[in-house]
Amino acid sequence: MELFDTHAHYDDEAFDTDRDALLSSLPEKGVSLVVNPAQDLSSAMMVIGMAQRHPHVYAAVGFHPHEASGMQEGDMELLRRLASHPKVVAIGEIGLDYHYDYSPREVQQQVLREHLALARECSLPVILHDREAHGDVMTIIREFPQVTGVFHCYSGSLEQAKLLVRMGWYLSFTGAITFKNARRAHEVIAWMPADRLMIETDAPYLSPEPFRGRRNDSSLLYRTAETVAALRGWTLEETAEITTANGKTFFRIGDAL
């Protein structure tokens, strides 16, 4: 069984003591592929470096909405150059976050538009963060109909999910689906077309049950896969095969590493 962690943050300081050793160990733990989205420009260079050192690791480049106000003149051109790297498979993590508002909302919106324009130019999918900002997110992505991507850590309604799937987007789910209050996500997962479903850890965050409270990493992705399998009536092996195939299709990663 091989799993694909489509979203993990190994550039986070939580991994400073064992980053490369942990990444090297993942294939023997059943995780054959990982995508690491960046948070800002320095993070983008770091995640590309990890992807260069580890054949099973890929990168995405962009400014997280928390970091949007830190973008400077010339940064988008540097991102454009980084996006051409062969191990960069998406623009991300980008989006809007109105829960914390670490960056002013109007700045977040402008930066999101700039990233979507970059994705269109580079013919890359996007990894999208949407927290308490769904109306504005939908308004902005409709301005870029040529661009699609994945709503990572999806927590929206079934109605929203149906609309996004019709628009060509994928949805990805974390260990949060193992929590007791995850009924809405369970409803979405049970409904979803099989070819639009991906799984992720969002490591070091959102450790699944029974590991809540400890640092998350890709070796715990199996718990998310087990929950998906139960909701879909699949075996664990079928879940791994389907979600890994979806991740490879979405990120355009071939079988040969």
Between CA 171 and CA 164 the distance in angstroms is 8
Q: Which long-range contacts (CB under 8 A, 24 or more apart) does 72-80 make?
A: 75/41, 76/114, 76/118, 78/41, 79/41, 79/44, 79/118, 80/118, 80/121, 80/122
Q: Residue 32 is which amino acid?
A: S
pLDDT, mean of residues 76-89: 97
The confidence band for 254, taking pLDDT boundaries of 50, 70 and 90, is confident
Global pTM reads 0.97
Q: What is the pLDDT of residue 49?
A: 98
Is pLDDT at 206 greater than 90 in this prediction?
yes
Residue 65, token pair as written in the block: 């909405």
* Residue 222 φ/ψ, nearest 5 degrees: -60, -30
Token reading at 21: 């050793």
Question: Which of the four pLDDT bands, split at 50, 70 and 90, describes residue 255?
Answer: low
Average pLDDT over residues 99-110: 96
